[in-house]
Chain A
Amino acid sequence: MNYIPVSGSDKKEMLESIGVKDTEELLSLQIPEVLRAKKLNLPEALSEQELMSLFKSYAQKNKSDMICFAGAGIYDHFVPAVVDEIVGRSEFWTAYTPYQAEASQGTLQAVFEYQSIICELTGLDCSNASMYDGATAAAEAVILAVRTSKKNKVIISKALNPEYVSVIETYTKNLNTEIIKLDIDDKTGAVSKDTLNNIIDENVAALVVQSPNFFGNIEDMQTLAEIAKSKKALFISVVNLVSLGLLKTPGEYGADIAVGEGQPFGNRMYMGGSTFGFMAVKKALEWKMPGRIVGQTVDKDGKRGFVLTLQSREQHIRREKATSNICTNAALNSFAACVYAAYLGKSGIRELAEANISKARYAFDVITKIKGFEPLFKDGVFFNEFVLKTDKDIKKINEELLKENILGPVDLSGFSFNCGGKYNNCLMFAVTEKRTKSDIDKLAEILTKI
């Protein structure tokens, strides 16, 4: 299958019009012979039917659709049918970036609605049209802060998702930025204000804190934001949209920038990509934002319409002076989140957060009753994810669970932050609204037997 709709006779006419006898002549007029490639060593074409069977066989080699208690940044949430139907409309997924506004009002209004929803959820003033993922959104936020403040020190919490830490390090390595890592308190599993006060000073461009943090614990963001503000550092909060149905918003606690991974809203896990990152900022920073932004305007008859705006921040206008190099983003993934939020509505958004925290607490209660499982952070307050320390064999636990089609908790021993072995024998359980009481009871039953 090659999807080329040109017959032999059509091609002949076209070549005649061009004035060459064949394609080879057309190419050799432009490309010197010595530069030409030999025949590619790739298998011959497959039919649609052959392709389907081949990829079905690949899919079957994966273990998928398990009862999932793994999280750590990517979560197994329910995706309603209406999201698939709308996002699956070819008028959306085969459309290009909406540069021609009058021919792209569908996409543009959808992005405007997405931006509005992100603002409603985060309590901040402006959102861009999306970033690649949560990690790159966090890195871009750090760059924004460094460039805006003209200061080069950034403090990041050690309870920030390690994938994000690593991407922030990549992004800032060549930009003369110093990354300082902030220890967390062993009892609460969260940042302590005393530790922060000891290291923060007026030379700090930004403080980056995640809440609920990587270990699932809710941070006292209000206090941390106040400390950052007192030292004229920007406060960058990394948040989970699901938690914002219940938890205080970045806008309410005074964050300057909120970023995060959008996958939990309407996107499937797909091994961690493609997902999307969101970024929202206070009004004062709107011209500093990376990426595309859609704004409302009117047409020549005064009718409401939407366009890409503040484009003089972007690479296609500003080239090397742009706020970022981002061009293609994650439009369709962020659109899925928009439709998902619209499906939930304000009530559903609250119910979603309530179901997540309630089920996680239920799971915590039943598992900590089992001998050999203790909470790692005795005074932690968690949302939908928590860490337990166990004296049992972790490998065996996950093997036994796998036999019952359960994807077990994430083993923390392999992460880079585990130098010194502090997180050996630690398991992190994520419990979303998708887990039923019987899923959780079954998990507990298996854990009891090990």
Chain B
Amino acid sequence: MNNNKTLNEIKSNRNEEKTVKCDVALNINIDDKYIRKTVPNIPDISEGTLLRHYTNLSRKNYALSTTMYPLGSCTMKHNPLVNEKIAKFDGFSEVHPYQSEETMQGSLEVMYELQESLSEISGMDYFTLQPAAGAHGEYTGLLIISKYFKSRNEKRTKIIVPDSAHGTNPASAALAGFEIISVKSDEHGIVSPENLKQVLSSDVAAMMMTVPNTLGVFEKNIKEITELMHDNGSLMYYDGANLNAVMGILRPADIGFDVMHINLHKTFSTPHGGGGPGSGPVGVKAFLKEFLPSPFVVKDGEKFKFHFNDKEKSVGQMKAFYGNFPVILKACAYIKSLGANGLKKASEQAVVNANYILSKLKDRIKIPAGNFCMHEFAMSLKGALGGGVRTLDAAKRLLDNGYYAPTIYFPLIVEEAMMIEPTETESKQTLDEFIGTLINIFEESKTNPDVVHNAPVNTSVKRLNEVEAARKPKLRW
């Protein structure tokens, strides 16, 4: 059976009269100038055919439910099933955004509970749940910073971003109208106060930092950095991409950050969905509350209601309505499942798992920073591989062995980088097997490099030609 068709290659095979019935008289007379003349090329196929088509497609995916996903900076942890089940309740899904507040008290309470929990976990005073993803949260946070300085009539036009930062940091800052200044990491992969001083000036609005950073290294100068920035009148932005390393261990607000976002689809276990939906709540210290986007949920006696910030002060609205509710709900459920101790335990185990892999590999690979890491580490495979094999090849060979491949060539400051974040939801047995596989690939690269060069061969397709895809884009059937 040919399971390699695209949808349009399946022949129409439905013989029922109608898919959508209409129990009133058809009344579609309309001026011809408004009418569609072309027919969309989408076949009419039966439910059975449809089910087979997409079930077969699903089998061409690696997923968290089938394998380990050691993706650095992505926190691909197990997505609890009970959260999925809860999110499907009609009581949540069949609610219209313009219903009155009295008729959606349950949803508002869930939002309020999450706002409060995130405040406790991060130390920030107020949260908005409106941003739809991490980058959207960054953008929101930067607009808040921009509005804050405008309200003080201070002209600050620059944002400092370490060279190890995620690409979304500079992209979000640019969208918010800022100029980006890059600060170099030192030989330990962290920001040094000396390097920072060289780029600091009176027109710097803020600095964005990921702590621990994308190398999995804790920024040990953080106290000095935040003091330096605050003395300069600038604010500190915490990119929460790596919050999974520090729940219950440290709180961004306590160590000097003023604004932050959290990726619920990373730290708080909501599924990635093949690329989304996510959710990127933004937390701020009290002095920035009035700049938050509207609305957020407040408790008024026993009732929950939306609070709208003063229009002139607020950054405005970041998306339609209130936020990605099912994602918010799953994160809220996750926090309640784990409780205070469980959250801390999760972060601790994430750190232990990453260090365990590191301990088994460190004799073979180059680590830019130290012998220990937080929840992830970036390594250079330059010395570990032979036979002209590159990190990309090693990653593809991992696919042959049934693993999703780790993030590669990031952070940009590590040569032939591979970045591993196992998360706390992998067992020692799984980690041991993964370590064994990696070591085997290192050996293979020296003894049988062609096998690695040619990888993958066990996937539904072999190495794909990305250059050709971009040169002659075919983006639709």
Contact = CB atoms under 8 A, between A and B. Distances in A.
Contacts of A327: 133-135, 167-168
A422 interface: no
Contact of B25 (A222, A286, A362): A362
A188 interface: no
A95 B466 contact: no
Given A92-B58, A163-B320, A4 B466 contact: no
B470 interface: yes
A41 B30 CA distance: 62
A329 B326 contact: no
A65 interface: yes
Contacts of A407: 96, 99
A171 B92 CA distance: 29
B248 A39 contact: yes
Contacts of A32: 220, 223
Given A26-B355, A44-B339, A101-B464, A95 B91 contact: no
Given A5-B425, A6-B427, A109 B6 contact: yes
A402 B427 contact: no
Contact-residue bracket for chain A: 35 or more
B317 A166 contact: yes
Contacts of B53: 342
A303 B95 contact: no
Contacts of A294: 475
A150 to B, nearest CB: 16
Contact of A309 (B89, B248, B324, B475): B475
B123 to A, nearest CB: 8
Contacts of A332: 271, 273-277
A348 interface: yes
B346 interface: yes
A40 B175 contact: no
A117 B132 contact: no
B259 interface: no
A126 B477 CA distance: 10
Main secondary structure of the interface of B (DSSP, over half): loop
Interface string B239-258: 00000000111110011000
Contact of B97 (A59, A74, A246, A335): A74
Given A4-B424, A40-B121, A358 B24 contact: yes
Given A90-B63, A298-B465, A342-B50, A136 B132 contact: yes
B217 to A, nearest CB: 8
Interface hub of A1, A164, A312 (most chain B Cβ within 10 A): A1
Interface string B12-42: 1010001111111111101101111111111
Interface stretch (B106-114, B228-236, B281-289, B441-449): B106-114
Contacts of B132: 132-133, 136, 273-274, 328, 330
A34 B40 CA distance: 64
A349 interface: yes
Contacts of B418: none
A300 B463 CA distance: 6
A70 B28 CA distance: 22
Interface string B100-124: 1001111101100000010011010
A44 B341 contact: yes
B317 A92 contact: no
A351 B320 contact: no
Contacts, number: 670
Interface hub of B143, B180, B278 (most chain A Cβ within 10 A): B278
A317 B167 contact: yes
B197 interface: no
B174 to A, nearest CB: 4
B18 A351 contact: yes
A271 B323 CA distance: 9
A362 B37 contact: no
A100 B316 contact: no
Nearest to B138: A325
Interface stretch (A17-25, A200-208, A370-378): A17-25
A417 interface: no
Rank and list the top 8 A-B pairs by shortest CB-CB distance, nearest first.
Answer: A59-B91, A272-B321, A174-B177, A332-B273, A272-B97, A61-B106, A345-B44, A331-B275
B21 to A, nearest CB: 7
Interface hub of B24, B166, B251 (most chain A Cβ within 10 A): B24
A359 B96 CA distance: 20
B321 A271 contact: yes
B74 interface: yes
Contact of B271 (A93, A361, A437): A93
Nearest to B272: A96
A27 B322 CA distance: 37
Contacts of B82: 48, 51-52
Given A116-B477, A361-B27, A134 B356 contact: no
Contacts of A354: 20, 22, 26, 28
A64 B92 CA distance: 7
Given A61-B109, A105-B61, A297-B469, A26 B372 contact: yes
Given A52-B82, A64-B91, A328-B276, A164 B320 contact: yes
A298 B91 CA distance: 46
Interface string B303-324: 0000000000001111111111
A102 interface: yes
B322 to A, nearest CB: 6
Interface in A288-314: 292-301, 303-307, 309-312, 314
A56 interface: yes
